[in-house]
Structure 1
Amino acid sequence: MEAIFYAWNHRRSINGRMHRCVVRFDKRLFSSSETKRGNPVVSLRTNQERIAIPINRDGAYKRFLEHVEDGWTATSIIMKQNLRFLVVLKKESPEPSIRPNWMGVEINSSKIAVSIIGKDKVLRQTYFGKDVSTRQFRFEERRAKLQAYQDNGSSKAGLKLKRLSGKQRNYVRTRMWQIANEIVKPAKQFSADIAIERLRHLRKRKGEWRRKSRRKVNRIPYGFFRHALKHVAEREGVIVREIKPYHTSQTFHGAGTSAERTG
């Protein structure tokens, strides 16, 4: 009944008809085990009986096992309309503590610059995500060609354009999470908190800037990267503070005072 209640409250209907429905199984409604041959299965409890569903040992399952070894626990399982199953994981984050050094993170259209600053010297300077801008540019070139074909009446171009948009979106999101993990790792290594520029309203619409400049700026996935960085840092007990972006392109030597350590 709990799964049915969740599905009904999270349903999506269009013109009075059910369009999308997901079912959630909490801890009381699922369990995991293995068959006699050692194959993993997940057991879901319904109103009448338990149903054992085999688990494919693909890359997603391997990542799930890695998360479990790292201290994550499964809190629920969500069944989507296409019968795909998603596992919701939870992990208690450590209490953040103020660290003696600062890591300055500056984002531009081609890369993410990182400077780790100690009391009176720069401990490390490096760049992340150089590949993202190049890959984004290639995606845009391909999308422009497909858009031209679609404008000329090609139906296949429209389908390919839709698939390419999804591929680009997935690539950017995956790389942002990867880069966030890559940045937090040296922050912990050098015992540094993170200072990131407080940027707003980066997305430029048609007519605001020139086409080339607009595309270059819109290539920056700043909002999603900031979300990923804060999430990963919180998970690792690292503090992230947003600072004013003035003069950060020139130097990050003032990051410690600009962030105003408090608490």
Structure 2
Amino acid sequence: MSSNDEQMNGQHRPNSILDQLELPQARKDKQRLARLRTAWKESWQEGGFLYQRWEEVFQARHASWHGIANWIKAAALVAGISLIVLMVDTAGDIASATLNGLSAAPAPGAGDGSGLWGTVDHPIQVFLADQAAHLSVAPAALYAFWQLTGLLGLVGGFLGNAGARIAWVLFGIGSLAMIWSAAPAGGRAAATGLAALMWALASIFALRGLTLRPIVHNHPPQYQFNPALHLHATIPAPTPAGDDSDDEPDNVHPLQR
């Protein structure tokens, strides 16, 4: 092939049919892809953008919160807030489904109230059933909530949670009030006293370690302050004996005859 076929009027002449059929847009796409590959390689070289970000992530494992890069802090805060929102939303759905299930549950069997536990539990069921008739909630939901409160107060109080212990105390007071209100008049005092004894025995575990005696911590002071008064007096140097000429003014002369 001659040089005239390869070059005409100073311009490159296509050497194949594929070059002739190649569209200008395809060439632009190839050039853009080549530039992207070049930029990707340069960003991972030392001093590149991605290289520096990776170094910041690697150093964040051993640095304090103030030494971490700002973009890592922002990403961590966004991820934490998103996780909290997701957990709150999930907890709300679970609580809503539980309450709906309790509301649709059938009423518990009242029983005949025989036995020690029946003497305490039967008046509570009767009281909750009477109160539920005036409320838009099922008796089963009230009874299940009462049981759940007692269980959480007992377990949480055993683990030392202050809020659970407060809930346990309120649970016991409310239970005694319900038993006193719904128990038969002839055995009201006995049923309430028996419930109080049961609640006191369970409080051994729920309120373990709780004391009403104030705790006094005597710690020696970490820093001791010793006041001291320092006086700095400047004492003039003594004048040598026989040297009184410096004390006389220059215009005073001895009397001469």
Structure 2 length-normalised TM: 0.21
User: Could you say which structure has the greater relative contact order, defined with CA pairs below 8 angstroms and 6 or more residues apart?
Assistant: 1
Point out the structure with the larger helix share: 2
Larger Rg: 1 or 2?
2
Point out the structure with the larger strand share: 1
Structure 1 length-normalised TM: 0.21
